[in-house]
Amino acid sequence: MAIVVVGLDHHTAPVEVRERLDFRPSEIESALHTLRRAGLQEAAILSTCNRVEIFGGGDDAAAMAATIVDFLAGYHVLRREEFEPYLYCYQDAAAVRHLCATAAGIESLIIGEAQIQGQVRGAALQAQQAGTAGPLLNALFRTALVTGKRARTETAIGRSAVSVSHAGVELARRLLGDLRAVHVLLVGSGKMSELAARNLLDNGARAVSLVNRSLERAQALAAAWGGQALPFDQLPSTLIAADVVISSTAAPHAVISAEEVRRAMEARPERPLIMIDLAVPRDIDPDAAAIPGVYLYNIDDLEQVVMTNLERRAAELQAVEAIVEEEAAAFEAWLASRAVSPTLEDLRNRADAIRRAELQKALRRLGPISEREQRIIEAFSIGMVNKLLHEPTMRLRHQAAEGNGTEYAEALRYLFGLDSRDWNET
């Protein structure tokens, strides 16, 4: 069987094209069934903000690719010329390597990002639940997920923060160690604060307070991750309790003055205060950096951390690509051996039919013998057949992995007469 993937991603298409081909989660099951009705034997859809890809399994890769393009045009009510120039199409080995590389994070907008692993797993699960993933795509997605896991455990491709909000949390963790006993104060309730809150919780933080000018918005965000929402006028007193302050508001001026920080430090002179300012314009008065015990970092500081981490991830590409090649090659060897499996099954069936016929002849000639003696003779016949078939079986599988499976399988079928109808004649 052949494998094909047709799709587009952030490398080939602008967002205005990607969003027109996007599949909402609630649409994928019906889309998969439509693909099956269109002629794909197996189908899976991977749809994220940065990519839309349809995987097909069947007998004819070219026909599957054409079917997928037609499906995309019909399902999204688009003219082919509106999206076809942005598409890529990979077949067989190239399709396998593409999905493995995708799951490993090296095809992502941010190299090594972990979210794609869960998205690949979700695509496989949706196809399984819809009944459109058969042995071929199930095996392909398993291989891709193993590749992604190996990439993240055997290399450093995903170990360093590569967004400013994540870098701020990573900085706090490096300076303070275990965050479980640390009181974190988030100022502002925008996207940066939400990402920081999620990352803080992932890193063990338990005491998280949120201060925002809109208490209702703060309460909604705090409820989502179990934090404490406070009105903005409680900021000065909350500074006293905090160990880490992460601020990200849309204010046009500083919302935390150096004087407020100074008064807070006078009330807790023995405890340092880490302040991370993610806002532009800055939320925290730069003069606060001169206060003893205060460690202030702004977005430029963190962007330098991000750039360094991106360089570290890029340095891991070669190691990840080696893992991709290894797993893809293993899958291709499995796929090639699968192609010769019918021949090997016919060979074993032919040999077993001959064995059973000859065993019955021998037992009739021997006359009355004990049940134990019958079992010994039968075990001998089975062992003999297994040993005789072992070498040709291994050699045929090896040739299949080398790309010569069809020729050797045809030769074996001819030499052993596997296509004849008289297997039981002796």
Alpha-carbon gap, residue 337 to 414, rounded angstroms: 19
The CA angle 143-145-149, to the nearest 5 degrees, is 115
Beta bridge partners of 276: 246, 297
pLDDT on residue 297 = 87
DSSP per-residue letters across 216-229: HHHHHHHHHHT-EE
Q: Which two tokens stand for residue 304?
A: 């330098």
What are the tens digits of pLDDT across the range 337-361?
777 778 888 888 889 989 999 999 9
pLDDT at position 422, please? Answer: 56
- The four Cα atoms 343, 345, 351, 355 give a dihedral, to 10 degrees, of -170
Q: What is the DSSP letter of 256?
A: B
CA-CA distances (angstroms) from residue 124 to 19, 47, 95, 135, 142? 21, 12, 15, 12, 8
Asked if residue 158 lies in contact with residue 113, where contact means CB atoms within 8 angstroms, the answer is yes
Distance, in Å, from the CA atom of 351 to the CA atom of 355, rounded to the nearest integer, reads: 6
Instruction: Give me the pLDDT at residue 425, please.
Output: 46
Of 322, 24, 280, the closest CA to residue 157 belongs to 322
How many angstroms from the chain centroid is the CA of residue 162?
A: 18
Cα distances from 261 to residues 214, 240, 287, in angstroms, run 22, 9, 10
pLDDT of residue 426: 43
State how far the alpha carbon of 103 is from the alpha carbons of 3, 96, 124, 351, 392, in Å: 17, 11, 12, 43, 36
Which pLDDT does position 265 carry in this prediction?
96
Query: What are the tokens at 334?
Result: 């499995």
Any residues with CB less than 8 A from the CB of 91 and at least 6 apart, and which?
2, 3, 4, 61, 65
The answer to whether residue 89 is catalytic is no
Q: Which domains does the chain have, with CATH numbers?
A: 2-160 (3.30.460.30), 164-298 (3.40.50.720), 342-415 (no CATH)
Cα(415)–Cα(426) distance, rounded to whole angstroms?
Answer: 17
Low-confidence ranges of the chain (pLDDT < 50): 423-426
In 180-293, beta strands by DSSP E: 183-187, 207-212, 228-231, 244-247, 273-277
What is residue 414's predicted lDDT score, i.e. its pLDDT? 86
CA distance 423 to 426: 8
Ramachandran area for residue 403 (φ above 0: left; ψ -120 to 50: alpha; else beta):
left
SS (H, E, C) 50-115: CEEEEEEEECCHHHHHHHHHHHHHHHHCCCHHHHHHHCEEEECHHHHHHHHHHHHCCCCCCCCCCH
Burial class (CB within 10 angstroms; exposed 0-12, middle 13-18, buried 19+) of 48: buried
Q: pTM surpassing 0.85?
A: no
pLDDT at 165: 67
Which among 49, 223, 280, 314 is annotated as catalytic? 49
Strand (E) or helix (H) holding 312: helix 299-315
How far apart are the C-alpha atoms of 322 and 317, rounded to whole Å?
9
Q: Which amino acid is at 100?
A: C
Cβ atoms within 10 Å, residue 215 = 18
What pLDDT score does 95 carry? Answer: 97
Output 128-133 pairs: Cβ under 8 A, ≥24 positions apart. 129/29, 130/28, 130/29, 130/32, 130/33, 132/32, 132/33, 132/35, 132/36, 132/40, 132/42, 132/43, 132/44, 133/42, 133/43, 133/44
